[in-house]
């Protein structure tokens, strides 16, 4: 469709944002599951709830404009989310994965902040002050999420990713317990395998002695 006015551009961008937000609601549960830091999981869970509110605000605005939010696919968001999905598939070390997930999430946040900043400004220009206020609420929440992720990365997760082999006692208790449990499980598996090998060797030895 050829756009001939700012209002048409405004509606088109609202649809793009709606598509972006709905894609995010499908991607965040996967990021929550992949994250190992409890604080990062909590941040993603909080943002998932915020995203659901963002969708409702967009739908409210579109309804007031007598427009459907559907009909457009945000290919930009699709690409950003694909990068995060590929990172998870690579299965890096837990600390490195968390740092990468934050980076992927912040790429998404900055994309959204740019989009919401534009539609907020256009809404004001078009005299849609009520819309502008709703869009500003969403923009404020996106900015807070971005800041939260930055603080979490700088104060904890990036440090752990840089020094993944540091003393376990220096890491947050929950992360330390999770890693220790993983190591204990691996050790138990190795012990079981060694025990089986020993029993096998003894059986062979018994068989050899009986043949003489």
* Separation CA 24–CA 108 (nearest Å): 9
Here the tokens at position 114 are: 């740019």
Q: What is the pLDDT of residues 3-33, one digit of tens each?
A: 789 999 999 999 999 999 999 999 999 999 9
* Separation CA 96–CA 161 (nearest Å): 5
CA dihedral 129, 131, 134, 140 (to 10 degrees): -70
Q: Which residues contact residue 81 at a Cβ distance below 8 angstroms, ignoring those fewer than 6 apart?
A: 23, 24, 27, 108
Residue 83's Cβ-side half-sphere holds a number of Cα atoms within 13 Å equal to 14
Here the tokens at position 212 are: 């003489």
Q: What is the pLDDT of residues 99-122, one digit of tens each?
A: 999 999 999 999 999 999 999 999
pLDDT confidence band for 203 (50 / 70 / 90)? very low
Say yes or no: domain 6-166 is CATH 3.30.70.380.
no
Segment of 112-121, 189-198, 199-208 carrying the highest mean pLDDT: 112-121
Domain coordinates in residue numbering, the chain: 6-166, 170-212
* Separation CA 46–CA 49 (nearest Å): 5
Its pTM stands at 0.76
């Amino acid at each position: 469709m050829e756009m001939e006015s700012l209002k048409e551009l405004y509606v088109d961008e609202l649809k793009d944002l709606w598509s972006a937000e709905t894609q995010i609601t499908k991607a965040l549960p996967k990021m929550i599951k992949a994250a190992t830091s409890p604080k990062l999981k909590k941040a993603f869970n909080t943002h998932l709830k915020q995203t659901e509110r963002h969708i409702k605000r967009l739908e409210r605005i579109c309804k007031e404009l007598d427009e459907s939010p559907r009909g457009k696919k945000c290919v930009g968001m699709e690409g950003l989310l694909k990068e995060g999905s590929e990172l998870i598939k690579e299965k890096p070390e837990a600390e490195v994965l968390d740092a990468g997930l934050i980076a992927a999430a912040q790429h998404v946040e900055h994309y959204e902040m740019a989009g919401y900043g534009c539609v907020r400004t256009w809404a004001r220009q078009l005299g849609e002050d009520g819309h502008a206020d709703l869009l500003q609420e969403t923009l404020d929440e996106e900015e807070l999420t971005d800041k939260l992720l930055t603080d979490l990365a700088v104060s904890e997760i990036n440090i752990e990713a840089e020094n993944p082999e540091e003393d376990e006692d220096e890491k947050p208790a929950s992360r330390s317990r999770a890693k220790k449990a993983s190591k204990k499980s691996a050790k138990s598996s190795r012990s079981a395998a060694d025990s089986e090998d020993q029993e096998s060797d003894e059986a062979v030895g018994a068989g050899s002695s009986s043949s003489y």
